[in-house]
Structure 1
Amino acid sequence: MKEKIVLIGAGSAKSNNRKTGGHISMNTKRETRTKTRPSSNKKAGGFRIALIGAGSRSFGPKVIRDILLSSALCERGVELVLMDTVPNHLLENERYAFRLMEQLGRRITVTKTTNLEAALRGARFVITAFEVDRRLYWSQDFHVPRKYGFKQVFGENGGPGGIFHALRNMGPIMRIAKTMERLCPQAMLLNFSNPEHKLCEAVSRLSGIRAVGLCHGIHIGQSQVAEILGMAPHEILVRACGINHFTFFQTIKGVATGEDLYPKLRAAERRARWTTKWHDVALGRVMLRVFGLWPSPSTNHYGEYIRWAPEFMASELHYYYDALEGEPWVTKNIPDFVYTIETAPTNCAWHPKPEDNRPAIKQEHAAETVRPSSELAIPIMEAVLLNRSRDLEAVNITNRGTIPNLPTNMVVEVPARCDARGLQAVPMAPLPEPIAALMRTQASINQLLIEAFAEKSKMKLLQAILLDPTVDSYKQAVLMLNEMLKLQQDLLPAFK
């Protein structure tokens, strides 16, 4: 039997968490016409790689590119399956795959399907990266809790917004996991969808599927540290642990010398201007001074888990709208997403021209200009299938004692090694107690949230919300919960 690698919901990217588009279908019956471009090098024991929800102009092409740049995988004979519910978007990425295949001189087979079971049957790897109408629901996740007084800074992975984001995505990812249990129980699930740790923990608690969450946030923190030290990122070695979007560097060393760079970082941070990149690192600088370790990736991420983060972030620009004109999810006039204040579109035209809001697929014009991404999905596949040992800077997996002072069954983000045996976490030192205490609260929230999802328990969902650091009113929490359940009822379990 051919081995398959499946990408579920390629319609969104985790790059800087700017997840756009995203079309995912759990349809297991409807089948589209399949278009095939035969391969000239099909081999017994080759791989079938499927991108399901493959209409993205960001994440879809990135994975296609990484696959085609892997000679190790392509030489085994690859059949690439594209899956999406929007035919036009799917066709764009199919054409992109053909163009890049010709450009690189690869010969693989490309097919299409809308059938989840057909894609998963016999798969060896499943990659998930999906969202449903991301901007609309994120604007709800962000603004509704703030309306009730809960000043979350981002509303993506933490805070009440992160709780509802997780609930919306638990349905699709658990349907995928349950289908995998029937059709490919030995497959490894590689997840790019947020909230990483909540979704991976749901899969690990509610199914028998091995789930691994992938995020490149560690590189953001590494670049910050390098900049403060006046070095290039590749000149420093970092090792971090914690939970996704809330990790701390236990090790910062010079690559060439092996020197511990923490003393130099502390001294350089003390000399630095406070206003430099305030929105990204001011909170991190305070945490370094108070808790002793540098956090990653940036304020808008780890600030989601800290009650006093709002004083370090101008969150009001995020999905800003005039309340007099009505809520954007009612008017359908979704405002600008603002990742950080530095990237806010403040110096721009007053009246932008109407345009397709899907980012254009980058076209490469010469084979030597095509470069792989920094994502770890393909390197993990190569390591597992070819038994090539690979060090991984950050993966989200069940703790099992890797971080000694965090619960054993919570999903944590840690470095790991990968080979034919799978992933083996690198043991870490205990985190400083104040940091561990913040993360243990998140462990309890995640456990209650997953139980609420599985049991359709509104009471356990309320318990999880009341544990969140940003929530300071029981009455307002209940009112917010009721409004969010009504707004998002089409995508949530029927809580009772």
Structure 2
Amino acid sequence: MREKAPKFFGNMPSLNKMFKYFKETGQWPEKPEDLTHVETEAWPERRVFQVILEKFGLLPITSDSHFGEYLPWAYDVTDHKSILDFYRFYKGFLTQLQPKLELRLSERVVPIIEGIVTNSGYEEAAVNIPNGNAGQRIIDNLPDWIAVEAPATIDQNGVHGVPLGDLPHGFASLLTNQIGIHALTADAVIHKSKALALQALLVDPVVGQYDGLENLLNTMIEYQQPWLGYLQ
């Protein structure tokens, strides 16, 4: 899959071109044959994705607008235009969408509950569970208490993460950058501490400026007083 990824993602239709196709035809390009009529470009909305694949040798299935939230250098390489195109595309899609009721479900919690009730033992592609799920680490070089998104099997005894072993140190380091932030955020909530909330911001690698940070925190607490007013 990693070997084929550059050819696939390096020749994709951008959302801007897909939206242009919609305006010209009145239809969204859904079938493979529809996409043959849409112009392509290299790695649209996946430039961060491209760097991770090329430099770390791993294939992250996400887009720049999500992965880039956690990387201080993502701003330099991300495809900003395609991120903006996504919101234009989505807005256009919603304006054309006809509301209708259907007897089908898209939330993954439904088959998960069904798998527990029926003891099916099926594998769910991605769930959010503690890394130390059922006494066994899913990712060995991350702490037990951190939540991870990983594949899992579902049976009558619950949700069981599929062990993935150690991640390569380089890629694992991108994940461990978040551990201190989550630990401090949890401590801030438990101890009702604004000082710890500020520390959580100060250790976040995407926070590159100190001036105004404390004022930002105070403003957020003030605007969301019913929910954050306990932070003192």
Partner of 2:111: 379
Of the three residues 181, 200, 208, the one matched with 1:472 is: 208
More helix by share: 2
TM-superposed CA distance for 1:284, in Å, is: 0.3
Between the aligned partners of 1:483 and 1:493, the Cα distance in structure 2 is: 11
**C-alpha contact (below 8 Å) 1:453/1:493 kept by paired residues:** no
Distance change (3 Å), C-alpha of 1:296 and 1:387: same
Is 2:134 the partner of 1:396? no
**C-alpha contact (below 8 Å) 2:122/2:154 kept by paired residues:** yes
Partner of 2:85: 342
Partner of 2:46: 281
Letter in 2 for 1:264: K
Report 1 or 2 for greater relative contact order, CA contacts < 8 Å, sequence distance ≥ 6. Answer: 1
Between the aligned partners of 2:108 and 2:47, the Cα distance in structure 1 is: 29
Cα distance per residue 1:18-50 (max 9 Å; x no partner) = xxxxxxxxxxxxxxxxxxxxxxxxxxxxxxxxx
Cα distance per residue 1:323-347 (max 9 Å; x no partner) = xxxxxxxxxxxxxxxx93233338x
Unaligned runs of 5+ in 1: 1-260, 316-338, 350-356, 365-369
Cα distance per residue 1:139-180 (max 9 Å; x no partner) = xxxxxxxxxxxxxxxxxxxxxxxxxxxxxxxxxxxxxxxxxx
Is 2:72 the partner of 1:307? yes
**C-alpha contact (below 8 Å) 1:283/1:299 kept by paired residues:** yes
Distance change (3 Å), C-alpha of 1:472 and 1:262: closer
Name the Cα RMSD after superposition: 2.9
Between the aligned partners of 1:372 and 1:484, the Cα distance in structure 2 is: 36
Of the three residues 265, 269, 276, the one matched with 2:5 is: 265
Letter in 1 for 2:121: S
Matched residue count: 197
TM-superposed CA distance for 1:412, in Å, is: 0.4
TM-superposed CA distance for 1:371, in Å, is: 4.0
Q: How does 1:24-173 map to 2 (within 5 A)?
A: none
Distance change (3 Å), C-alpha of 1:372 and 1:458: closer
Letter in 2 for 1:344: Y
Distance change (3 Å), C-alpha of 1:491 and 1:361: farther
Of the three residues 363, 375, 389, the one matched with 2:101 is: 363
Between the aligned partners of 2:208 and 2:8, the Cα distance in structure 1 is: 33
Distance change (3 Å), C-alpha of 1:454 and 1:388: same
Between the aligned partners of 1:280 and 1:270, the Cα distance in structure 2 is: 10
Between the aligned partners of 2:175 and 2:57, the Cα distance in structure 1 is: 16
Between the aligned partners of 1:489 and 1:290, the Cα distance in structure 2 is: 44
Between the aligned partners of 1:478 and 1:279, the Cα distance in structure 2 is: 36
**C-alpha contact (below 8 Å) 1:407/1:440 kept by paired residues:** no
Letter in 2 for 1:290: K
Distance change (3 Å), C-alpha of 1:361 and 1:292: same
Between the aligned partners of 1:482 and 1:277, the Cα distance in structure 2 is: 42
SS for the counterpart of 2:212 is helix
Distance change (3 Å), C-alpha of 1:345 and 1:432: same
Cα distance per residue 1:292-323 (max 9 Å; x no partner) = 111122111111000011231428xxxxxxxx
Partner of 1:430: 166
**C-alpha contact (below 8 Å) 2:11/2:42 kept by paired residues:** no
Of the three residues 141, 147, 153, the one matched with 1:405 is: 141
**C-alpha contact (below 8 Å) 1:444/1:464 kept by paired residues:** yes
**C-alpha contact (below 8 Å) 1:416/1:423 kept by paired residues:** yes
Is 2:179 the partner of 1:414? no
More strand by share: 1
**C-alpha contact (below 8 Å) 1:287/1:295 kept by paired residues:** yes
Distance change (3 Å), C-alpha of 1:475 and 1:403: same
Between the aligned partners of 1:298 and 1:421, the Cα distance in structure 2 is: 34
Of the three residues 200, 221, 226, the one matched with 1:485 is: 221
Between the aligned partners of 2:62 and 2:201, the Cα distance in structure 1 is: 24
Structure 1 length-normalised TM: 0.37
Of the three residues 177, 186, 200, the one matched with 1:441 is: 177
Structure 2 length-normalised TM: 0.74
% identity of equivalent residues:
34
**C-alpha contact (below 8 Å) 2:121/2:155 kept by paired residues:** yes
**C-alpha contact (below 8 Å) 1:279/1:314 kept by paired residues:** no
Between the aligned partners of 1:488 and 1:424, the Cα distance in structure 2 is: 37
SS for the counterpart of 2:151 is strand
TM-superposed CA distance for 1:270, in Å, is: 8.9
SS for the counterpart of 2:196 is helix
Between the aligned partners of 1:280 and 1:392, the Cα distance in structure 2 is: 26
**C-alpha contact (below 8 Å) 1:416/1:426 kept by paired residues:** yes
Partner of 2:187: 451
Between the aligned partners of 1:372 and 1:395, the Cα distance in structure 2 is: 17
TM-superposed CA distance for 1:460, in Å, is: 0.8
Between the aligned partners of 1:361 and 1:456, the Cα distance in structure 2 is: 43
